[in-house]
Structure 1
């Protein structure tokens, strides 16, 4: 039997923080959790857009008994990440689900306020810093989970340790693949470190397959490409909805059968679309030495550590 949003267990009393929740996968994930009774905090860079999403989600919140709230969170800025984490801790003092969903795709080279290549800074380092700052709120919660959302780009990704920020050579798709591979490596290494510390928090990863979201539009707009819009139109029949694309991360976040360090994605057409299932991890992410090296470098860059 296929796993759908109807399969999600009751989430009443649980508190979830979803990054990038004002559109696409994050919005659909919030909608599903609200319908099952969770309180969902939308962690978004733009509060006006978050307000629009909140208005749209009120019906799901009302019908499911959950509640939707907002948190200003710009993952490109470590100062903002730390401020948001502190605000979240002061406001709630607990957390059950952290879904690291926000992301950028295939942008021309830009730098974050902290001087990081933008895709690595937002997709990996911002979430790395946020997760470590919020772990104390998760540590004593039953069935607490951290879900890192990656993509199929992990399979061609490579961590360029000698040029992480693309200063000597920059390819926007290679930078995206690096950041998505980093998401999986982080999820696996976090699970290992939590296990070593005897913590029950689960760390998992998920990818949406080929889903229709704002990522494609943002990438096209940023690059001014004539070819990419044509390619996306030609591939249109393969694209699945954002609601379907959100199912793997919802499975990772809620399914009782999801396993520590598990990685979930669609089950059809080589992981491009379909229902959630356990899927293969990029071979590069299975190298424990490389994962530890990335973790150490990420600690150095974000000046945060796992206590």
Structure 2
């Protein structure tokens, strides 16, 4: 199994630890972490930790882009990022002592038509070597809403699409193997209750702390985390995507259980892209998906 993750709007993630977050107040930061981020990068980190061969690609530019690539090298995450002229964005997440996370995300660089055209050539070469491709996150300025749809159609391998808004709706219409929206993202993409109506072969829909539901051609299953969780939920969805890739050839109920367990373990970790392995190993067996009867 060889995975390729694509992060078109990669980020240099800055995480602040504060006692509490109060608008208009001065905050004393107790801890700072800076690392390469963006949803596809987080997926690649988790896959590396699981021992799944993976390559991270996407767009990176400027000093922040160089820092992002340096961090991936230090972290042991193989990368083939494509250089652009614009400056890679930064995100700042303030995490309080109670585990509440507040995210500030810059819009990202403006990508030129020439850069996008050149990236498509770069991507095609990488996708030809992949068994599964993950397309994750927001689109930077300059790219059309159908950018993910273009990549899905250009990919010979199965595709997992994690996006929202028009990028999700258009990308799902190109028929990826799986889409992974949360309930709000799904509602914004379509007024239809059935997520498979968007066009994907399967959908893993997150309800946050209440768990996830897998919609497939063979049935619908739901599963919930083992307990009420506190921590940083920023990378929980990315861990769920990594679980789907790592268990690609298992039956859907087992894949759903892995996704819920790994997502919960990611909430327990301080930084997006990490997960609490002990928590994951302790609780995985106790997560039993149940079928959802058809209407």
Comparing both structures, which one devotes a greater share of its residues to helix? 1
Which structure has more RCO (C-alpha within 8 Å, separation ≥ 6)? 1
TM range (shorter): 0.3 to 0.5
Q: Between Structure 1 and Structure 2, which shows a larger proportion of strand residues?
A: 2
